[in-house]
Structure 1
Amino acid sequence: MPIDTFRTATSDDADAIADLVNRAYRPPAGAAGWTHESELVTGARINAAQVRLTLAQDDSHILLGLQQARLCACVNVVADGDGCYIGMLAVDPAIQAGGLGKQMLTHAEQFARQHFQASYCHMTVLSARPELLAYYLRRGYRQTGEYQPFPHDANAGTPLRADLQIEVLRKTLTD
């Protein structure tokens, strides 16, 4: 079932967003879903207070995807010069692999073009996640050759590998 409603999050959505993101990125061992990174990073990916701070930032929006009024996906879009940063794309693990991530990503890119007049989008992906990297490459993102260290100071969990890095991807937006 596709997403039937998109809307912009408010601070009232913070707890539900944090729950969704943590279930998608850092579920308990043996949980469903192919996008999680539990084998690479421990601890919560985000908490409700961090979501509220993200929502309070100028030019930062968390977009929600709903199925019959139930939260099933989210993504953060942040204006960044002539482009936008896209992050925190999450789909409920129980319904992943049904095209909802692609639908949410397309909505985020359209929002970036329409709301911020962005000419490109960029994102970061854990370099140790080849299946996730391949997913974004199929969606038109390109590797930039830029790598950054894992953001230890972002309160986004603890890496289980000392060599863990994030890779920057970029996509040019067209009308």
Structure 2
Amino acid sequence: MSETTAGSAGFTGEPTFRPATRADVPALVALVESAYRGDSSRAGWTTEAHLLEGQRTNPESVTEAVEDPEGVVLVVELDGELVACCHLERRPGSAYFGMFSVRPTLQGGGIGRLVLAEAERVARDEWGVGQLEMKVVEQRADLIAWYERRGFRRTGVYSPFPYGDERFGLPLRPDLRFEQLTKSLPAV
């Protein structure tokens, strides 16, 4: 992240990474919600507010991710404030990448690229896996393009959106579905 970006957002330090703890759950829920849903999400480019209303996550699912023995929730702090996160879940031969969130007012400044690079490092170097997998709402062409610029490939494998399950939000259109994306993690 450039000094200009950090300074313009009121931050002076470099981002630090650490595994989330149960004490982080309320801040993580607030961060994920702010990045994807409601008016606050419109300050960034990752908003889904035009596709979905309602919640993106809840304390129970974030707690489950934090306590998952086969995964880790990485948090990113700037000057002691939680500003970004992601969840990695270890799978046979791969790692699932999800819950990727950056504070909306900091989006576009390079923090997301740093989070993705750290997730790739953990998956490759600490877990020994050669691939990241994720699912993205197909209608999020701008987000899919961002991931493609970072080496992810569209697979053409789709899964339905969980209509009727308010834990995932309230769809504003009837055609939502997820596409699986993958990225190879060559050994370094």
| Aligned equivalents of 2:36, 2:149: Cα separation in 1 | 20
**CA distance change for structure 1 residues 46 and 30 in 2, over 3 Å: closer, same or farther?**
closer
Partner of 1:173: 185
Secondary structure of the residue aligned to 1:117 is coil
The answer to whether 1:95 aligns with 2:88 is no
Instruction: Say if 1:3 and 1:100, in contact at 8 Å, map to a contact too.
Output: no
Does 1:86 find its partner at 2:91?
Answer: no
Distance 1:123 1:31, change over 3 A: same
Query: Shift in Å at residue 30 of structure 1?
Result: 7.9
Q: Does 1:128 align with 2:139?
A: yes
| CA separation of 1:5 and 1:122: change in aligned 2, threshold 3 A | same
Q: What one-letter code is carried by the residue in structure 1 that aligns with 2:179?
A: E
Tell me, in whole angstroms, the C-alpha distance in 1 between the residues paired with 2:143 and 2:154: 13
Question: What amino acid does structure 2 have at the position aligned with 1:18?
Answer: V
Q: Secondary structure at the match of 1:155?
A: helix
Residue identity in the other structure for 1:56: E
Unpaired segments ≥5 residues, structure 2: 1-5, 7-12
- Larger Cα-atom Rg: 2
Alpha-carbon offset, residue 29 of structure 1: 7.1
State the partner residue of 1:53: 64
CA distance in 1, matches of 2:172, 2:122: 35
User: In the alignment, what sits opposite 2:9?
Assistant: none
Does 2:174 correspond to 1:159?
Answer: no
Match of 1:38?
A: 49
The alpha-carbon deviation at position 3 of structure 1 amounts to 4.6
* Counterparts of 1:97 and 1:89, CA distance in 2: 14
SS in 1 for 2:45: coil
Cα deviation per residue 1:136-162 (whole Å; 9 max; x = unaligned)?
Answer: 000000001101101344711121111
Give the number of equivalent residue pairs.
Answer: 175
Q: 2: CA distance between counterparts of 1:56 and 1:29?
A: 28
Q: 1:143 to 1:3 in 2, by over 3 A?
A: farther
SS of the residue corresponding to residue 86 of structure 2 reads strand
Worse-superposed segment, 40-49 or 144-153: 144-153
1:68 — aligned with what?
Answer: 79
TM-score (norm 2): 0.88
> Do the aligned partners of residues 161 and 98 (structure 1) sit closer, same or farther apart at CA in structure 2, a change above 3 Å counting?
same
Of the candidates 111, 133, 157, which is equivalent to residue 146 of structure 1? 157
The DSSP-based 3-state class of the residue aligned with 1:90 is: strand
Task: Report percent identity of matched pairs.
Answer: 38
3, 18, 22: which one pairs with 1:11? 22
* Equivalent residue letter for 1:155: R
Contact 1:85 1:121 in 2 (8 A): yes
